[in-house]
Amino acid sequence: MTCYRGSSHCGAVTFRIDADVRELTTCDCSLCLRKNAVMTKVHESELRILSGKDLLSTYVWNMKRAKHFFCSRCGVYTFHRKRAAPDHFGVNVFCLENFDVGAFRLRPTDGVAMSVIEATARAEWPGPRTPR
């Protein structure tokens, strides 16, 4: 198993993942398009926050299942608890030290096809609408 250390831009939030990275993903949902992250999926037991847990801001939307974590000081997206696999995190690999993105396969994720159930959903949120 490989250990990767990561941090927010300012260094206030630090974390590590103990996981063998097999693939990287992008997502075309409205949030992921705006944050433009490349992610790897790790089980919750493979992610450990080392410092700055109290500095993480959380953003939730739509179904309120996925929780997106950002450093409250510099605003960098570090990782998120996944909607479709709530016992896993998507980790922003651009936050990882000495990580070679080009060495891994990149798989697009079809986030646009995920349903939108929020009653006050913005028009910019793509996806099939599901009434509450």
Flag whether 128 is in a domain: no
User: pLDDT band at residue 132, thresholds of 50, 70 and 90?
Assistant: low
Helix ranges restricted to H, 1-132: 30-35
pLDDT digits (tens, 9 = 90+) for 93-122: 999 999 999 999 887 775 655 556 666 666
Residue 111 confidence (pLDDT): 62
Domain of residue 61 covers 3-113
Closest CA to 28 of 94, 93, 105, 108: 108
18 inside domain: yes
Q: How far is CA 43 from CA 23, 82, 85, 116, in A?
A: 14, 10, 9, 25
Q: Could you read off the pLDDT of 53-97 as tens digits, one per residue?
A: 999 999 998 778 889 999 999 999 999 999 889 999 999 999 999
Residue closest to 119 by CA, chosen among 67, 64, 81, 82: 64
CATH code, 72? 2.170.150.70
Give domain status of residue 104, yes or no: yes
CA atoms of 20 and 39, how far apart (whole Å): 13
Give this prediction's pTM.
0.82
Higher pLDDT, 5 or 129: 5
Does residue 125 lie in a domain region?
no
User: How many structural domains does the chain have?
Assistant: 1
Report yes or no on 37 lying in a domain: yes
Q: Are 32 and 90 in contact (CB under 8 A)?
A: no
Per-residue model confidence (pLDDT) at position 115: 59
Domain-embedded: residue 56: yes
Cα 33 from Cα 26, distance rounded (Å): 9
> So what's the pLDDT on residue 64?
81
